[in-house]
Amino acid sequence: MARVTTKPDATIAEAVGQAREAAVANAADFGVGEHLKCVTDGERIATHYFACTHPAYPGWAWAVTMTRVSRTKSATVDEVVLLPADETALLAPTWVPWSERLQPGDIAPGMLLPTPDNDPRLEPGYTGGEMLPDDDPAEWSLTRALVSELGLGRERLLSATGRTQTAERWISSPNGPDNQFTRLAPGVCVTCGFFVRLAGRLGGMFGACANEYSPFDARVVSLDHGCGGHSDAVEEEREISIPAPVYDTIGIDKSIFD
**What are 97-106's pLDDT values in tens digits?**
887 888 888 8
Domains and CATH numbers, the chain: 10-84 (3.10.450), 117-158 (no CATH), 173-222 (no CATH)
The answer to pTM > 0.75 is no
Listed residue (209, 149, 159, 158) closest to 185, CA to CA: 209
In this predicted structure, the answer to whether residue 255 has a pLDDT above a threshold of 80 is no
- Kindly list the distances between the CA atom of residue 23 and the CA atoms of 20, 46, 52, 56, 178, in Å, as whole numbers in the listed order: 5, 15, 10, 18, 62
In this predicted structure, the answer to whether residue 239 has a pLDDT above a threshold of 80 is no
In this predicted structure, the answer to whether residue 20 has a pLDDT above a threshold of 50 is yes
- pLDDT at position 72: 87
**What are 116-131's pLDDT values in tens digits?**
888 898 887 765 555 5
- pLDDT at position 1: 47
Q: Do 58 and 88 meet the contact criterion of CB atoms below 8 Å apart?
A: yes
Residues 6 or more apart in contact with residue 25 via CB below 8 angstroms: 80
E strand segments, 163-231: 195-197, 206-209, 220-222
